[in-house]
Amino acid sequence: METYLTLIIAIVGAPLFPGIILKVKAFFAGKQGPPLLIKYFTLLKLLRKGSVYSTSTSFVFRLGPVVSLASALVVLFFFPFAGSRPLFSFHGDVIVLFYLMGIGRFFTVIAALDTASPFEGMGAAREVFFSTIAEVTIFTILILFYRLNGSLSFAEYFTGENAIALSHASGALLLFVIVALFMVLLTENSRVPVDDPATHLELTMIHEVMILDHSGPDLALIELGSFYKLFFYSSFITHIIYPFTFASGILNELIFYVILATVYVAIGVTESIMARVKMDLVPKFILTSFALVFFATILTMGVLQ
Amino acid sequence: MNTFLLSLTVLSAGGLFSLLSYRLFSLMKAGYIFITAIGSLIGLYAIWAPLQGGPSVSFSSTWLHLFTLSFSLDSLSAFFLIPVFTICPLAALYSFHYMDNAEHCGRIAVNYFFLTLLIISMALVATADNIISFALAWESMSLSSFFLVMHEYQKSSTRKAGYIYFIFAHVGAMFIFAAFALAYSYTGSYDLLSFSAMPDSIKVVVFFLALVGFGSKAGIFPLHIWLPHAHPAAPSNISAVMSGVMIKIGIYGVFRLYASLSTTSLILGETILTLGILSGILGVVYALGKHDLKKLLAYHSVENIGIILIGAGVGMIGLAKGNMAMASFGLAGSLLHVLNHSIFKSLLFLGAGAVLQKTGIRHIDQLGGLMKSMPVTGKTFLIGSVSISGLPPFNGFVSEFLIYYGAFLGLTLTGSSFIFAMFAILSLAIIGGLAAACFSKVVGVVFLGEPRTEKTAAAEEAGCTVTLPMILLAAACLFIGIFPEPFILTVFQALTNITTLHSVGTDEIIVVAGNLAFISRLFLGVFILSMLLQKILYLKKEITRGPTWGCGYTQPTVKMQYTGTSYAMSIVDFFRPFVSIRTNYSGINRIFPGRTTYESHVDDIAESTLTDRIVSPLLYLLGKLRWIQHGHIQLYIGYIIVTIVVLLFFI
């Protein structure tokens, strides 16, 4: 029961949280900002519209939104939100899930290339480059987690006796992971300083420019997929920060959503106080995250022997 | 074994039939394809029992009254024979509409004959049971494939490619023979199984010597140089067979030798893994930098051989360390990737051949928009691309997952083995990301967007015998992805030939395979539901078509599309100094600039090192000795006499 409940809350509630980011940014800018539910309004608006398809495109263009949404959704099925049992789980699921996100990205990229637009090609090239480097960080984190408790699935990471949590013996190493994962979150979800979702200059965009030609319900599906992706990464960080081991499900939920909101606030703060880095410095930014977790992983060689 | 020999006989009848009936062009092709298909089906029937764990069968005959040629068909051989008997007939079928120039009927008949010879010799290599039969079959495999590469022998680039291949094949063979000779001097037996009786230090030397030979056939970095030359030169159905099937015979050599040596030295696994990481990463980086579609695919073969070796290396390290779960999954992933790669790589080469046939263009930056004019080729190529990028729910992911699984199990090891397991995982992650980058480039630039040249715009779908093999192969990619269990079990059956391996129990294998199958089906289900959702959301909605949003620019041309070169450049640039990039830019230097040009070439460091450091000095040195060769026959006879006299002193 709790499994279904948390999953439904995640699926329905994911579009709420990006509103927090906008609020925080508005606060820093001294504005009132859009309402918290702005993303729901956007989705509803898009769903009411029709679409304009470019004459250059083929069926691949329409496949892009579907695959990216499907891959983001499947990831949610395997995540133990607020310490509850996930819908599905097996030893090794993390590898599959990160690869599933890969297929979502693959189709977003080729859908962008389908439009024959030079801008979208540019965005696609950046997306595949940066995500390849980010993938290395992710897998280093998986290696570190395997060293810490020998598990290979989200459920095993965050539930059970030997759960991964900041408060445990090797928690110091997890500080690196949290910082690195936050950097990957910014990269993979096209936030400042890697990408600027609010920019109006196509040349400087990554993710936004790839979906320039999508409109109507297709765009809504893409947006929904990206909310889920952001929600997943934020929950991942939340779980590392705090283990949800209370007997009461409701208490777990409450703390989970508070910390989750804090992660979103952190994203908003980062976006407000930082400018985006130059495009050729982005690989360095992502490699910094890799260096952090790689260092932590090397440390386990001494710690555990 | 009788059915197996029958299949080889039927196959050779097909080869002879093509030679005899070459004047009746269509009949020759149809007859050849029919006989080859029958022969391959009999072959598949013959390997069915050994694949299921049936007893191995063997056959031997004496040759020249001196040697015994013996062959035996066990589950490991049978596993490598699956691609031989499935991909080759499909490639033959493909040739019906692909080789459609009746003026070349004689040449095509010869091509068919050598294809048959290649199939038979590959089947014999995979079943050879002693040194002599292995060496004979290996040589005939190299020679027949050399003639296949030389199909368009009038082109000087083809001849160059053929000679490069010839040199690599024979230098490699020389190392294999050296390894066998060394082994024979210790065991005194021709039998491959007797290799296990050698002292450990010799086993390592034999393994490394043979690895050079097998590696040059399989295309392990830095012995891969012939691949990007030979594959573009050969006809596409031949590239499909060579890249999909023949280079795997090199991998078979590694596996068979490893099983025969029954050694568990750590150094073997570490070397194989290191070579795998090198081949994998550099292969895909060079592929990204290439503009010729078939050259790009050839470098992807190097990459996939890298993945196969990473799996094998993980498995061998696991064996050396006694971590049997790690060993089982690493080796299983490696073997399964052999099968998977043979499916999607031949699919991609066949697709590239269809594009080449219909447009006549190899340079990907001159193609584009083919998805609309060649829908079947486009869709099957897309499936092949997703599979080779190792993305679920297709087959490439299944084998990569097993390798990951094995490598993660190896993370509990200590010291250097932990480092190796960690690098195996990280390099797989990098390779996966880069392969996805490279194939999004190929699909995006070649098949999507707008045609960049008039020739491309005029392309139309290839004939039905060209598209049918591609459809079958694409279906196989999805099938293995969604129903991986029987294939994984077959792989574990093949691994029973490695006697040092105590494989994990069938229960555990079924659990892992079942999980993999489950998540693939789950994703497919969610995907179909999302498709339905999209359909529902678009009910009664207004859909209009218009030009692509040009960001305010109103005069777009097809030339403005992002090119494959620009797409890949930042990634390739990241991997300097392992790749050298030569650019040629005319520059803009006047107020009203004239025609500006930009060219970039990505050079393979293995090839440039070989040319600069080995071939050029060697040529210089040998040039100095040219006076020996002067054309006076009496002096040549004198050389022979002097040589014999000198040699007599040593007896």
Strands A51-54 vs B543-546: parallel, antiparallel or unpaired: parallel
Residue type at position A94? V
At A40, list the tokens: 């729901």
- Cross-chain Cβ contact B401/A96 below 8 Å: yes
Report the distance separating Cα A303 and Cα B414, nearest Å: 12
Average pLDDT, chain A: 90
Question: Is B182 part of the contact surface with chain A (CB cutoff 8 Å)?
Answer: no
At B345, list the tokens: 């790589």
Question: Is B508 part of the contact surface with chain A (CB cutoff 8 Å)?
Answer: no
What is the model's pLDDT at position A179? 95
For A112-128, how does the pLDDT look when each residue is reduced to its tens digit (9 = 90+)?
Answer: 999 988 888 999 999 99
CA distance A157 to chain B (A): 15
Report the distance separating Cα B47 and Cα B43, nearest Å: 6
What is the model's pLDDT at position B61? 83
* Spatial CB neighbours of B507, under 8 Å, sequence gap ≥ 6: none
Nearest to B527 among A67, A110, A220 (CB): A67
Which residue bears the tokens 């997306």? A127
Which residue bears the tokens 């002096």? B635
Report the distance separating Cα A243 and Cα A165, nearest Å: 6
Question: What does residue B582 show for φ and ψ, rounded to 5 degrees?
Answer: -105, 125
Tell me which residue of B287, B307, B290 sits closest to B220, measured CA to CA. Answer: B307
For A136-159, how does the pLDDT look when each residue is reduced to its tens digit (9 = 90+)?
Answer: 999 999 999 998 888 899 988 888
* Spatial CB neighbours of A38, under 8 Å, sequence gap ≥ 6: A19, A22
Nearest to A99 among B397, B526, B537 (CB): B397
ω into B393 cis (within 30 of 0): yes
| CA quadruple A80, A81, A86, A91: dihedral, nearest 10 | -20
Does the pLDDT of residue A303 top 60, yes or no? no
CA distance A245 to chain B (A): 27
- Cross-chain Cβ contact B429/A221 below 8 Å: no
Where helices occur in B262-388 by DSSP H, the ranges are 266-289, 293-321, 324-359, 370-373, 375-388
Report the distance separating Cα B417 and Cα B639, nearest Å: 55
Cβ–Cβ under 8 Å, residues B517 and B402: no
Question: Is B527 part of the contact surface with chain A (CB cutoff 8 Å)?
Answer: yes
DSSP tag of B489: H
Terminal-to-terminal C-alpha distance of chain B: 45
| 3-class DSSP state of A52 | strand
What is the model's pLDDT at position A200? 66
Cβ–Cβ under 8 Å, residues B316 and B258: yes
Closest-CA residue of B relative to A287 is: B574
Query: Contacts of residue B559 in chain A, CB cutoff 8 Å?
Result: none
Residue type at position B350? L
For B269-312, how does the pLDDT look when each residue is reduced to its tens digit (9 = 90+)?
Answer: 999 999 999 999 999 999 999 999 999 999 999 999 999 999 99
For A69-128, how does the pLDDT look when each residue is reduced to its tens digit (9 = 90+)?
Answer: 999 999 999 999 888 889 999 999 999 999 999 999 999 999 999 998 888 899 999 999
Nearest to B527 among A66, A135, A297 (CB): A66
Which residue bears the tokens 């980058």? B437
Residue among A69, A101, A110 with most chain B CBs within 10 A, to mutate: A110
Nearest to B523 among A74, A147, A152 (CB): A74
Question: Is B545 part of the contact surface with chain A (CB cutoff 8 Å)?
Answer: yes
- Cross-chain Cβ contact A103/B426 below 8 Å: no
Tell me which residue of B283, B343, B478, B488 sits closest to B405, measured CA to CA. Answer: B488
Q: Is B544 left (phi over 0), alpha (psi -120 to 50) or beta?
A: beta
Mean pLDDT of A227-254: 86
Closest-CA residue of B relative to A140 is: B426
DSSP string, B506-554: HHHHHHHHHHHHHHHHHHHHHHHHHHHHHHHHTTT--EEEEPPP-TT-S
| 3-class DSSP state of B156 | helix
Residue type at position B192? L
Query: Contacts of residue A139 in chain B, CB cutoff 8 Å?
Result: 425-426, 428-429
Residue type at position B121? S
- Cross-chain Cβ contact A70/B411 below 8 Å: no
Which pTM was predicted?
A: 0.94
Closest-CA residue of A relative to B549 is: A213
| 3-class DSSP state of B432 | helix
Tell me which residue of B282, B277, B447, B296 sits closest to B359, measured CA to CA. Answer: B447
- Cross-chain Cβ contact A110/B449 below 8 Å: no
Nearest to B426 among A110, A126, A139 (CB): A139
Nearest to B440 among A113, A118, A283 (CB): A113
Count Cα neighbours of A270 within 13 Å in the Cβ-side half-sphere.
21
For B121-179, how does the pLDDT look when each residue is reduced to its tens digit (9 = 90+)?
Answer: 999 999 998 899 999 999 999 999 999 999 999 999 999 999 999 999 999 999 999 99
Give the B window 83-112 contacts with A, CB below 8 Å.
none
For B63-76, how does the pLDDT look when each residue is reduced to its tens digit (9 = 90+)?
Answer: 877 888 889 998 99
Reported confidence tier of residue B595, pLDDT bands at 50, 70, 90: confident
At A59, list the tokens: 């069926």
Reported confidence tier of residue A34, pLDDT bands at 50, 70, 90: very high
Reported confidence tier of residue B485, pLDDT bands at 50, 70, 90: very high
- Cross-chain Cβ contact B425/A142 below 8 Å: yes
Report the distance separating Cα B499 and Cα B258, nearest Å: 10
ω into B556 cis (within 30 of 0): no
Residue type at position B551? C
The ipTM value here is 0.95
Strands B579-585 vs B57-63: parallel, antiparallel or unpaired: unpaired
Nearest to B426 among A59, A109, A136 (CB): A136
Query: Contacts of residue B432 in chain A, CB cutoff 8 Å?
Result: 99, 102, 135
Q: What share of chain A is helix, strand, coil (3-state, %, to 5)?
A: 70, 0, 25
Count contacts between A and B (CB, < 8 Å). 240
Mean pLDDT of B195-224: 92
Which residue bears the tokens 């280079």? B247
Closest-CA residue of B relative to A117 is: B561
Reported confidence tier of residue A305, pLDDT bands at 50, 70, 90: very low
Cβ–Cβ under 8 Å, residues A179 and A292: yes
For B490-548, how does the pLDDT look when each residue is reduced to its tens digit (9 = 90+)?
Answer: 999 999 888 888 888 889 999 999 999 999 999 999 999 999 999 999 998 889 998 88
CA distance A142 to chain B (A): 9
Does the pLDDT of residue B100 top 90, yes or no? no
Report the distance separating Cα B128 and Cα B150, nearest Å: 27
Report the distance separating Cα A35 and Cα B45, nearest Å: 68
